[in-house]
Every structure is written in C-alpha cells, then in structure tokens.
Amino acid sequence: MAKTSSHFAGNYAEARQKFLDAAKGAGLKVQSHANPNKDPDGGALFTDVVLAGDPRAPNLFVGTSATHGVEGFCGSGAMVGFLREGLTEERPKDTAVLLVHALNPHGFAHLRRVTEDNVDLNRNFVDHAAHPVNRDYAEIHPLLVPADWNGPGRAKAEEGIKAYIAKNGHPAYQAAVSRGQYTHADGLFFGGKGPTWSNRTWRAILKEHGAGRKRVAALDFHTGLGPRGYGEIQFERGPSDPEYIRAQSWLGGEVTSPDDGTSTSAALTGYMALAVRDECPNAERTCLALEYGTLPIDDVLGSIRADNWLYARGKVDSSQGKGIKRDIRAAFYGDDDAWKSDIWNRAVDVYRRMLTGLSAG
C-alpha cells in the first residue's frame, strides 16, 4: 500500500512534479500548456499532456484530471501510477493513450473546484449565445451565498434550505444547486458567460491528438459523490444512448446514468465530454466519468458553499479562510492510505477494461 500511496501528492506543485518525473521515467515527452495565472505562492500553472503510442493509431484512450481543480489529487495519483507502473505500455498496438494532467490547474493549486473565473468547467461547454435556464437555482441562490458564514445570515439561510428540502426533497435540492446555472457569477456551479482558458485548452488538445481517430474513449476522474472510496462509473445521458450501451458492454453493466436514477450525480448541463463530440465528430466516442466518494453529500455541498462564500464575501488568508480551505480539501481528497488504495485499484480495473473494449471495437 505504501507504493500505491506514493503516487499521490499533497498539493498541485508536488503532483505536477511527480507527473513530470513519471513521464520522463516512461520515456514520454510532456507537452505543457501554461495557464496565465499563478499558484498561491506565485508559481506557474500548467496543464501537462503525454501521449503513449502511435500518434496515428486508430484508437485513443484519454484520461483527464482536475476538471474540478481540488478533485485533481485523485486523477493525478492514478495517472502517475499508470506511468510509473507501466500501464501505459499495456495498450493494444492499435491504441494510443493520452493523459491530461490538471485540466484546471488554477483550481487544483488554489483548492477550488472552479477555475480562475469562478466557473465550473464541467458546466462550461454550452452555446454561450443561448444558455440553459435553471430557474430553481435563482430561488435558492441567496440561501447558498449568505451575508455571513458564522452569524445570523448563515443561520437564516440554513433554515431556508431546510424548508426548501422539506417541500421539494433532497434530490431536487441537489439538482437545483448542482446541474449548472448561468445567471449568478458569484454563485455555485456557475457555467460562465464564455469559454474559459481550460475549455479552450481542452479543445486544442482534442484537436491535436483526436483528429482522424476511428474511436475515442475518455475517462474523467472526479471525487465527492457516493460511498467513500468507491468509484462509480458515470455516463451523462440516458440508457437508450448507443454510447451508454457500448460502455455497459465494456464494463459489465456497472455504468450509471442520472436519467434512470442510478447515478449519484444530477443531470448536468455543459459537461466537458461534449467537447469530444465537437472536436472528434467522426470518431466513435465513449466518454465516462469515474466518481469516487469521500464524505457525506451534505458535507461536500457544505464545503463547496463555504469556499464559494469565502471568495465572494470573505478573506482567504484569515483563520476562517484557512479552515474553509482545509475542509474543502478533505471533502474531495481522502488523504489516507486505504482511500488511495481504493482509488488506485478501481482506476486500474476500469482503465484496463476500457482499453480492451476500445480495441475490440
């Protein structure tokens, strides 16, 4: 277990260095995309990419981490392990493996789910000339971002949330909060007013490495939903979708969907797999998320609310701010050996089965 734990890092800078070192050890060239912002210590931020295999191979597996920045510890550890332990060399001859480390490096470094624009990247892939409408969010926004976090404003907001859940149910509350909204830039799960840097970078990576592929399989690593340490394989659309049916055949019927109520996730707008459709339109596509549980859902949503409030109303470098940062890290990173072992074992299993299915066609 100690070896498995060593794949994981304590912060963005350490995670990046481990990824760079692992790529070098595997004899792979790293392509780095520089984010224009800095980490909390003034250091540079990058989305780093490695390709293992023939650039002209008909099949491409793509792994992505830190779409939601603070969730990047999980995917980073898996990718470092893939490189260190030779899993990228297990690919079939007709398949290349592309690993995208820290798609949202700003969020990873600053321990935020969102980008430097306060945008949830996994809600940003929409037509920004005609945003989806989430009327339910507007009703609860004032409750999610109260005037204070440890005072009467927060207490009143909590009562309002309890009343909303009592009237509508917890699933409706989770959906209203998390499916994506495009009206409140200081709010939660904000999808943005235009494509973010990470959105544009992801599309550029897909154009470069996905063009001309016959088949593309993508796996995006996430944390925060479901039983602690369990990796739920999620698909964003319904069970009648050919992509879902194909994924189920690869993964032994373990794929979940919000459309039939089997997923811990609400149905989302603007999720990042839509870029694979846009940039690899002629490829057969199979895009999934691997979601690992950490803490109970109310604790996770509470940490997101607190972090959002901190940047909208509070002071990051205060004692209160530091406490909020510790809480959001814990909500998305199970920093213990048992959790890391669960992440690693499930990641290896899903990766291998996806490679087999991708090559089999």
Q: Is 358 exposed, middle or buried (0-12, 13-18, 19+ CB in 10 A)?
A: buried
Q: Are residues 159 and 93 in the same domain?
A: no
Residue 48 lies in a domain: yes
Which pair of structure tokens corresponds to residue 328? 């959001």
Total domains, the chain: 2
| 322 part of a folded domain | yes
Task: Answer for the pair 328, 70: CB distance below 8 angstroms, yes or no.
Answer: yes
Q: How far from chain centre, in Å, is Cα 355?
A: 21
Give CA separation, 13 vs 10, 16, 129, in Å: 9, 5, 36
Both tokens assigned to 91: 């690919």
Q: Is the domain of 111 the same as that of 197?
A: yes
Q: Is residue 69 part of a domain?
A: yes
Cα–Cα distance for residue pair 36/47, rounded to 1 Å: 11
Q: Are 25 and 88 found together in one domain?
A: yes
Note whether residue 103 is domain-resident.
yes
Structural domain including 310 reads 135-178+306-326
Label residue 37 exposed, middle or buried (CB < 10 Å: 0-12, 13-18, 19+). middle
Query: Do 206 and 227 sit in the same domain of this protein?
Result: yes
Give the integer Cα–Cα distance in Å for 200 and 212. 20
Is there a single domain that holds both residue 91 and residue 208? yes
Query: What is the per-residue pLDDT for 359?
Result: 93
Residues 337 and 317 in one domain: no
**pTM of the predicted structure, to 2 decimals:** 0.96
Q: Which residues of the chain have pLDDT under 70?
A: 1-2
DSSP 8-class letter at 124? -
- Determine the Cα–Cα distance for residues 58 and 54; give it in Å rounded to an integer: 9
Residue 345 shares a structural domain with residue 315? no
Residues 159 and 208 in one domain: no
Q: Is there a single domain that holds both residue 120 and residue 144? A: no
Instruction: Please report where in the chains the tokens 């959105």 appear, as a residue.
Output: 199
| 344 and 216 share one domain | yes
- Calpha distance 242→225 (Å, rounded): 25
Same domain for 162 and 114: no
pLDDT digits (tens, 9 = 90+) for 174-212: 999 999 999 999 999 999 999 999 999 999 999 999 989
Q: Does residue 287 belong to any structural domain of this protein?
A: yes
Which amino acid is present at 322? K
Q: Is residue 320 part of a domain?
A: yes
- For residue 356, give every residue at least 6 positions away whose Cβ sits within 8 Å of its Cβ, in sequence order, or none: 92, 250
Which CATH number do you get for residue 82? 3.40.630.10
Task: Give domain status of residue 185, yes or no.
Answer: no
In a domain, 220, yes or no: yes
**Which tokens sit at 352?**
């291998």
Q: Which residues contact 89 (CB under 8 A, 6 or more apart)?
A: 26, 52
Cα distance between residue 45 and residue 36, in whole Å: 8
Task: Give yes or no: residues 208 and 152 share one domain.
Answer: no
| The pLDDT value given to residue 2 | 60
